[in-house]
Structure 1
Amino acid sequence: MQPRRQPPPAPLPAGQRPGARLLALLLLLALQGAAAAAPAGSWRPEDPGRPQDAGLSRGLLQQAARAALHFLNFRAGSPSALRVLAAVQEGRAWINPKGGCKVDLVFSTERYNSESLITEGEEHLGKCSARVFFKNQKPRPAINVTCTRFLEKQKRQQEDYLLYKQMKQLKLPLDVVSIPDSHGHINPSLRPIWDLAFLGSSYVMWEKTTQFLHYYLAQLTSVKQWKTDDDEIDFDYIVLLHEFSTQEIIPCRIHLVWYPGKPLKVKYHCQELQTPEEASGTEEGRAVAPTELNHF
């Protein structure tokens, strides 16, 4: 007796076929993978302030490093200690749309006036670690920064005093049209003026920097040095600041008072469509104490 033949199974509905189930599973895995690789600007309400992959926010790390260097240069108050960014080594960013953006990073620097360097490789480099807090679209980020391998204090004081003597010996009134000139050249006799202008402008650029706005000193267009009864260098100058994201050129009038080893004094006013609080300011080198970092 032959066994009874079983009827063929009924076909599954289209939504339950193995191919459709496999497709649904693959789609779910793809979505999970995309969520895990979300860019550094992403933020989820259930996990506010979550650290993001620094490799996906390289521009943000660069912006934080530049802001930290503006602040560092101003706070040092020394034309001989001016630094510029060499490279960002590592960093992490915490993004919170309601509070702002906090960045921890490590970066290397080099001396600003490369013409005065003896080429000895990394002897003229320094490493810095910083925490920078951008308050959404507001300027003047709060910054804590520490650096190693600075120029030795004694040598820095010697270079600053030499620059100070050069400034004191300049003939008044100064007849300066533009530094650098139309060919990008800075006359060595005018280098002290440019370095001091860069030092004072560092404060202005730090105050105006936001998470998305980056400023660079493009040109010094006017200088007026004042005779004083004391030993301080006291002069007014006009600079052109280049803002990279908007490509705007912003003229700023800056008044600077400086003496080697003393806090830098800066007042300024920039010509642009901003509120008066954002367009002008005054500060002394030791008066800056960022307090917003713990409020993230």
Structure 2
Amino acid sequence: MEQPTSAAPGHAPAPAPSIPDAGPAAGPAGPAARLGARLGPVAMVVAGGTSVQFGSAVAVTIMPSVGAAGVVALRLAVAAVILLLVCRPRVRGYARADWWTIAAFGLAMAGMNGLFYQALDRIPLGVAVTLEVLGPLALSVFASRRAMSAVWAALALGGVALLSGGGFDRLDLVGAAYALAAGGCWAAYILFSARTGRRFPQADGLALAMAVAALLSLPLGIAEAGGRLLEPRTVALAVAVALMSSVLPYTLELLALRRLPAATFAVLMSLEPAIAAVAGFLVLSQALSVTDALAIALVIAASMGAVRSQGRQARRERSTPVA
């Protein structure tokens, strides 16, 4: 079963509604579902995006004790346990190609999260999300193959140039590289998520891929943090991050997608760099300059423009009669 644009764990959904992404087809019931029932679909999307970015901000507070790799290991392990318990996926009856898809999806997920948190350890949250969103935006532009896509790409590059202040020496180069690499993994995540959604029912594929991502990340987390991973405060914060970045947003997005067009959903999710900047300021005291704010606004505008262009193109293709 395919669904358009759903959030990756701890990240904003891709701004590419014409490229389907298999998000959870059945979300966990409970407080998140009851909260969603009281909200309108737009409020659900904003609440889900806010939860994701504030979850990332909380994750940054754990880094001094366990490092970025330790945070990722805990984050993915807790999320995997939650999803496996909720989905209880079956593991029999699948072909080898199905399991290769799960492995690739899990690898993309592990790379996306691992690189993103390495970036968060070096650059502000808002800047990291802005650079990371360039990966799915590039995928959206390339998939469109329209002249207007060049305008959105140029707008996004203008935002990146502003972030660099005319020279990337203003940014931590390693942190910026990690964020851009995470964006590349995010684009791969979108493609393999779509394949997983076609091959596995409900959210089974997501749960299994999350388990793969957790297994890939645990050795790095253990090597960096060792026994500190099991400290009660660290575990409690990791559980909070997993709930804020997976369970709550997945449920709210699932409910919203039942009542919102995919293009509208993606446009709303294009606001995530701005939400991330607010979360970084409130939780981590990461203030942005006026130039940084303008750069983020340009990337958001490029993302929204690409989404809306693809939406119009898809509507024209559906309305064109087949000869």
Higher RCO (Cα < 8 Å, 6 or more apart)? 2
Instruction: Give the number of the structure whose alpha-carbon radius of gyration is greater.
Output: 1
As a proportion of its length, which structure holds more helix?
2
- TM range, normalised to the smaller chain? under 0.3
As a proportion of its length, which structure holds more strand?
1
TM-score (ref. length: structure 2) = 0.24
